[in-house]
Structure 1
Amino acid sequence: MTLPSWTDTKLGAKKRAALWLVTEVGEGGIFIKEDVRTAFPGLSQIDRRVRELRQHGWRIDTNREDASLGQHEQRLVAVGEPVWEEGKGSLPSTSLTETQRRELLSKDGNYCRSCGITPGAVFYGTYESAQLDIARRPVKKPDGSTSVEPVSECNKCRVGGKGLTADLPGVLAGIAKLSAMERGMLVGWIKADEREFGMVERLWADYRTLPASSRDEVREALGTP
């Protein structure tokens, strides 16, 4: 099937941007914002249209997701929905009022639902303070469907959690396998909506981030083969 031309000004900016990425950059190709602006002179919102493609299943990585990319580079990893086709490319309104945002943050306990950090707290092992906002997370439902639901997340988890889908049936199935003691422990955490992680758990998390040679040193220090 022949694709429309990305130079066709009768098409919307998002459709033209998608076609430009497919035909001029290609999957695996790298581009910078200046390339986009040069291709679409005079279109002030073209960068935003490119970002919107991620909401249609397009994977466009920056150096936050791919450390091999330069600060201004982006890579078209995978083409998503063909937004240039009839009936595709539209999105329901997802904007939130400030009141709705505050209500959602309050309902989520005013902390990141992924890592538990609170606004202004310093990320463990860094000097960076956390900021909370509302992210949208796909959630797999027991009937097999998937819905997108708002959730409070910090600035680090919003980046690291991209592409993840919450698994509600998996959680429910796991609960069914718990012993009475484990179930009671979980109930307590859910009622308090809080759980403190001990030093051993923090050290385990830090250990998992170490490169192989450094993990070997830890195992040697512990006398573990």
Structure 2
Amino acid sequence: MKRVALWLVSVVCEGEEFTKTQLRDAFPGVSQVDRRMRDLRDFGWRIDTNREDPALDPHQQRFVKAGVPVWEPGRGARPKGTTAIGANRRREIIAADGNMCRSCGITPGAEYPDTDEVAQLDIARRKVSKPDGEVVVELVTECNRCRIGGRGLTADLAGVLRSSAALSGVERRVLTDWIRDDQRSFNRVEELWSDYRSLPEESRAAVRAELGLD
């Protein structure tokens, strides 16, 4: 892993693309060199594939940003709470998460609205703030879009529990129905609100004018 990190910063350089063949040719005889490179993500290194960047071909990757200099003494130990995710564990997590992205609900192979881009699911490491104040890392299924946007976020379990406890009886029943079904249908007004929020300001102004708000 340390040798791969040095190869990335000295040969590939940040922002540049490389192929799996180039990686393997740089380390002849080294088994699972692809996995050694993926391990760098646990140390804050960003290496995009076509899952994160649709502009890349399946055989291409981009070295976006270096993280912890793992070649320095004492810097190459795996961060607390992180372990390599094997294929079996990955399948277990995706199955437990309902075979869908837990952020947006899209399923693998489905197209994103208004695009020809197809969703792929992967495992994200998410920081979670527990009620006792401890912050731990947990695994969650996300699509290639949400996984990028969710980097650096911390889920607030303590806040969710506090808000849940403060719900009225009617609100609690509504929430428990959604949780039991693991889904919620949005009406057209709610969908429009979400669409409006995603617009740039100039376009939001056009909507406000149409509704007589400006």
Displacement of 1:131: 3.0
Change (3 A) 1:148 1:72: closer
**In 2, Cα distance between the equivalents of 1:101 and 1:30?**
29
User: Paired residue for 1:94?
Assistant: 85
Secondary structure of the residue aligned to 2:42 is helix
User: Paired residue for 2:197?
Assistant: 208
Change (3 A) 1:42 1:192: closer
2:115 pairs with 1:126 = yes
Displacement of 1:171: 0.8
Q: Paired residue for 1:114, among 103, 122, 138? A: 103
**In 2, Cα distance between the equivalents of 1:101 and 1:58?**
21
Change (3 A) 1:107 1:60: closer
Task: Out of 118-127 and 108-117, give the one that drifted further.
Answer: 118-127
Change (3 A) 1:224 1:184: same
Structure with more relative contact order (C-alpha pairs < 8 Å, separation 6 or more): 2
**In 1, Cα distance between the equivalents of 2:94 and 2:7?**
38
User: Paired residue for 1:53?
Assistant: 40
**Deviation string for 1:104-150 (max 9, x for gaps)?**
33322222211112333332222333333433322222222233223
Q: What are the within-5 Å matches in structure 2 for residues 7-156 of structure 1?
A: 14-18=1-5, 30-33=15-18, 41-42=26-27, 49=36, 51-58=38-45, 74-76=63-65, 79-80=67-68, 82=70, 84-86=72-74, 88-90=76-78, 92-97=83-88, 100-156=89-145
> Does the CA contact (< 8 Å) of 1:113 and 1:153 recur in 2?
yes
**In 1, Cα distance between the equivalents of 2:98 and 2:63?**
35
> Does the CA contact (< 8 Å) of 2:68 and 2:75 recur in 1?
no
Secondary structure of the residue aligned to 1:33 is strand
* Percent identical: 51
Number of residue pairs matched by the alignment: 203
Change (3 A) 1:22 1:133: closer
**In 2, Cα distance between the equivalents of 1:75 and 1:103?**
29
Letter in 1 for 2:103: S
Displacement of 1:17: 4.9
TM value normalised by structure 2: 0.71
Q: Paired residue for 1:179, among 153, 156, 168? A: 168
TM value normalised by structure 1: 0.68
**In 1, Cα distance between the equivalents of 2:87 and 2:139?**
10
> Does the CA contact (< 8 Å) of 1:108 and 1:152 recur in 2?
yes
In structure 1, list runs of 5 or more residues that go unmatched.
1-13
> Does the CA contact (< 8 Å) of 2:39 and 2:84 recur in 1?
no
> Does the CA contact (< 8 Å) of 2:51 and 2:120 recur in 1?
no
Letter in 2 for 1:55: D
**In 2, Cα distance between the equivalents of 1:218 and 1:73?**
39
**In 1, Cα distance between the equivalents of 2:95 and 2:34?**
32
Task: Out of 213-222 and 149-158, give the one that drifted further.
Answer: 149-158
Secondary structure of the residue aligned to 2:142 is strand
Displacement of 1:57: 2.7
